[in-house]
A and B are shown apart, each in its own frame.
Chain A
Amino acid sequence: MNFGIVVFPGTNCDRDCYYVIRDILNQPVKFIWHRENDLKGIDCVVLPGGFSYGDYLRAGAIARFSPIMSSVREFADKGGLVIGICNGFQILTEAGLLPGALGRNRSLRFICRYVNLIIERNDTPFTSEFEKGEIVRMPIAHNEGNYYIDDLSKVEKQVVLRYYGENPNGALDNIAGIVNERGNVFGLMPHPERCSEKILGSEDGLRIFKSIVRSL
């Protein structure tokens, strides 16, 4: 399973994802600079968290014009796996690879803490290691995680993760992570790479990466 981690200017969770994939999962992984456009040999593209272009204008709004994004679109159209974490999720919605948009947190503050999540679907390549309805813990860390879509019915079947118990950011219908219709592009606000080791307090996130590896 070859992972490619896209690095935009301002991305800051790239090295964290790299560490989990290479050092914890022992899978081949490489960084892909956003000006490149070659995804040859890659099985799964990771759009990591951070502040691409400083989140100036809107989170993800500028990154979606990077050259790599047209390759990511083609890659996704051919069925390749794409996972966008936090800022990566924001980029995917801005790019139209996932429906909806992520607005400012209801509290107007950046929120960094663990939240409870319920697994709504385990029939995706990203969540096969979970049980449907299982409650897991993962950290969030964002300013713009308030999921919005004008017509909820459009994405009802695509919701993979929901906040469980308390909704930290005002997201519509507690949506924390969704896939596209085809199920090969996944965006989520929580950071699985931050909870993939016991020493960091939770290993729930590792199961997302394990699901991806298992899917191939």
Chain B
Amino acid sequence: MRTKEELQRISMTLEEYQLAKSILGREPNDLELGMIAVMWSEHCGYKHSKKTLKLFPTTGPHVLQGPGENAGVIKLDEELALAMKMESHNHPSAIEPYQGAATGVGGIVRDILAMGARPIALLDSLRFGLLDNSKTRYLFSGVVSGIAGYGNCIGVPTIGGELAFEKPYTENPLVNVMCVGLLKGKPKSGKAVGIGNSLVLVGASTGRDGIHGATFASLELTSESIERRPAVQAGDPFMEKLLIEAILEALEKSDAIIGIQDMGAAGITSSSVEMASRGGVGVEIDVTMVPQREKGMTPEEIMLSESQERMLLCIEKGREEEIRPIFEKWGLNFAIIGHVIEERVVRVKEKGKIVGELPIDLLTEKVPAYDLITKEPERLKEIQIIENIPKVEDYEGVLLRLLGSPNCSSSSWVYQQYDHMVETNTVSIGTGASILRVKGKPYLLGITTDGEGRYCYLDPYIGGMMVVAESARNLICVGAEPLAITDCLNFGNPEDPEVAWYFVETVKGMSECARRLNIPVIGGNVSFYNESENYTVYPTPIVGMVGKIENIETICTPEFKKEGDTIYILGEPGNLGGSLLIEELLGEVKGKPSFNIELEVKLEDLLLKAIRSRLINSAQDVSRGGLGVALAECSIWGNLGVDINIETGKIPEEVLFGEAQPVVIITVDSDREKEIEQFFKDIPIKKVGKVIRNNFTVKINGNEIINLDIETLKKEWSSGIERWMK
């Protein structure tokens, strides 16, 4: 019998303990209990999210691997496939920003590697508190250098992501990392099969770091979290780079590797159990065979250690020696720590003696799946209403303020710290979706991550739809056809009914939009308990999406291309609900975001066709900061001005700074206006002006309200983050 305190230390409830005991039919020993606790943690077991996640559409003709593996995989052509996955590393980054972010990168890269793919790109979606807070600046610069320190060293370019600064993330930043990889032929699987086949641990040695990290990730952050510092691991990117090269070399030279699995949260326990579960077999592991970094480690410590840069391989019995020299060449451990057995258990031995044994299904299928208790927050109706829309006196001033807000401004301070060019595939970054070429192929890849906390906070269903739609729209705007989604869902404590309601509604919205746009969700991750003493984060879904651009001729980019081009707006700009303007002016997030899914479907279809037919010269999605900010960005990036006049019945605040979606700005050759208007006749399209050489002038119903030169815009926009981070 265990005390409540004892169970609390490993984040298990008394009920869960009793359930586990009854399934097992006996009292688990310390080692076994530790293994159960990590496998039943939210982080590994998804016990609060499993049922909701079933809502996502996950299939499609090009999907080679949906959720359930280390990463999702889609087919690009007859030869190549693409693996993608996103994961959060929020809690470790809150405690130790550099290592937290760095190990986040390491983990996601190994997930991609486990599919047999060479990682080709990293993207990071980051959220922090406001930059006027010194703690925020510490976390922000630590996270960015952690990502840089790790990603740069392993030679995988960090090509994009997104960034937001909002109060609820002050103590609990969000660090979501996405990795994309390319592989030839069939993806690998994290599967153990074939009785007698060997389980081989490769990579780094095992130390006492990060024991119970998975359970740590399933707790709210408190000041005591600081004392949990040992649960944060340190990364070794050099080791990771060697691991990447060794694994890829081994896969190229031999087919003896049957399964590959990342060793992340819950270490050897979860990796071996997951491999056994997928293969429908059992595993036997002798902890004495595990290369150890520290002396005197107990079986429990070895089984639960989260030492980084390790992977578990299942290798055909008798062919281990084909693989060993490759790992030895790269200076890595190659240790046969166990083998596949028929009996569906995980059996742990120490010096040949059994020290623990648990049924696989106790640690997988039988992890309890909770029905969420949901309750719509009462304050929702209240925050959805903006009582008094503030009247803007100085539109120029407001535009500059929004452009200079770290939420809109240039993120070059961040991405210049990332090696975004290594591998020499990076065609475009920093404006809209990133574009990578694929050496030897005519097509290119568009990759983006998008997230939206404030919309979901105000209306999770709409917000959930918007985050998927915006991501797809960003791809379409560069001429890429969206192929698949990976996501990361960042929420508070799911046992809080309001948080649970937000979670379920958000997933419903995302699923609906993904279904309507016909983009499958092929993998992802849920991060709960993003709460601290003073804040609960906004319900924040992050979407990572990959699309395919037909060829180099059909790339489209957002910046204005040439003087004299005609500017059109697709969709209907407006609605200040959830807008940055309202937050800037009122100091709080208010209103109801607006989104039109019917229009979205039509707009995306037409826009992609137009780009592929090379009808348009630029396309820019309107989102944070509204039309005003989006137009200014096109000007800044293209170093060209605009002469705009919008005839409208709405107030200028709404038209210029509203964030209704979908809205897209396009430019076309002035002699193609008729053609364009005809092409987009089924959706709202409005001619608003011309691209000119220098000035940025905007009139509403003929009244000039903005007249700025581009240098002024550029100065504001480019210093938004830098001015804080000097």
Contact = CB atoms under 8 A, between A and B. Distances in A.
A139 B439 CA distance: 20
A197 B423 CA distance: 13
B424 A16 contact: yes
Interface string A170-182: 0000000000000
Interface size class of A (residues with CB under 8 A): 20 to 34
B417 A10 contact: no
Contact of B422 (A9, A19, A55, A141): A141
A11 to B, nearest CB: 8
Residue picked from B154, B155, B242, most chain A C-beta under 10 Å = B155
Given A15-B423, A56-B238, A193-B424, A111 B417 contact: yes
Interface string A1-35: 00000000110110110011001000000000000
A13 B552 CA distance: 24
A10 B427 contact: no
B527 interface: no
Contact of B241 (A16, A51, A199): A51
A51 B424 contact: no
Q: How would you classify the secondary structure of chain A's contact residues: helix, strand, loop or mixed?
A: mixed
A43 to B, nearest CB: 23
Interface in B415-439: 415-424, 426-427, 437, 439
B152 interface: yes
B145 interface: yes
Nearest to B444: A199
B236 interface: yes
Contacts of B419: 110, 112, 141
A96 interface: no
Contacts of A19: 424, 439
A78 B447 CA distance: 48
Interface string B237-259: 11101100000000000000000
Contact of B424 (A54, A109, A143, A194): A194
Q: How would you classify the secondary structure of chain B's contact residues: helix, strand, loop or mixed?
A: mixed
A51 B421 contact: no
Contacts of A141: 152, 419, 421-422
A113 B416 contact: yes
B238 A112 contact: no
Interface string A96-134: 000000000000011111000000000000000000000
A200 B552 CA distance: 12
B331 interface: yes
B437 A199 contact: yes
29 contacts: A9-B242, A10-B242, A49-B422, A50-B155, A51-B152, A51-B153, A53-B238, A54-B237, A54-B241, A56-B238, A109-B145, A109-B148, A110-B148, A110-B149, A110-B418, A111-B416, A112-B415, A112-B421, A113-B416, A139-B421, A141-B421, A141-B422, A191-B421, A194-B421, A194-B422, A199-B437, A199-B552, A200-B424, A200-B426
Interface of B: 145, 148-149, 152-155, 236-239, 241-242, 330-331, 412, 415-424, 426-427, 437, 439, 552
